[in-house]
Amino acid sequence: MRPFVHDRSRSCLGYGEGVFATAKHAFQCWKMFDLGWVRVADANARIAVGQVVAVEVRSLGLWSVNLSRIAETVDTGTQFGFLYSTTLQHVEQGEETFLLRFDPETGEVSYELEAVSRPRQALAKIAYPVTRYFQRRFARDSHQKMSGAAGATARYGDSESD
């Protein structure tokens, strides 16, 4: 069995409370998944503990659906986001955090992704390099989408994998 891989990425979406409010609204509409090749099946799903999120993914010309359940949420004046855990109906096993941060001292608004995962289903195990490619592509595209949704030109590049 493969070990879990830990991925982290961060981008600056801009500055100010207005950018934070706009980014928060984009999160609530699942814009970070609205990538053309990835989408949330129910864009009206609430970000709430227990909510099951169906993510549709087109890879290699085929669509698949992966289900995750929101396990934690945060909604303060300086942070907004959630952590979801994969279900048995997901090609991967693990958790992923989607978080917006507003730094009141600098005014910076950032978008952070953190995932811990390993392949669960046989096809994901066999095609592991392809799976990793799509995970990195998702992070890149999601940061770019949130940048546009927040009305900024984000700088993506602060990322790392274990």
pLDDT (tens digit, 9 = 90+) per residue, 64-111?
A: 999 999 999 999 999 999 999 999 999 999 999 999 999 999 999 999
Which alpha helices (H) appear in the chain, and where do they start and end?
17-28, 122-126, 128-149
Q: What's residue 154's pLDDT?
A: 45
pLDDT band at 120 (very low <50, low <70, confident <90, very high): very high
Mean pLDDT of the chain: 92
Residue 2 confidence class, pLDDT cut points 50, 70, 90: confident
Q: What is the radius of gyration, based on Cα positions, of the chain?
A: 15
Produce one character per residue of 62-74: b if its CB has 16 or more CB atoms within 10 Å, e if not: eeeebebebeebe
Residue 159 has pLDDT above 60, yes or no: no
pLDDT tens per residue across span 122-131: 888 998 999 9
* 3-state SS class at 150: coil
CATH numbers and ranges of domains, the chain: 9-155 (3.30.530.20)
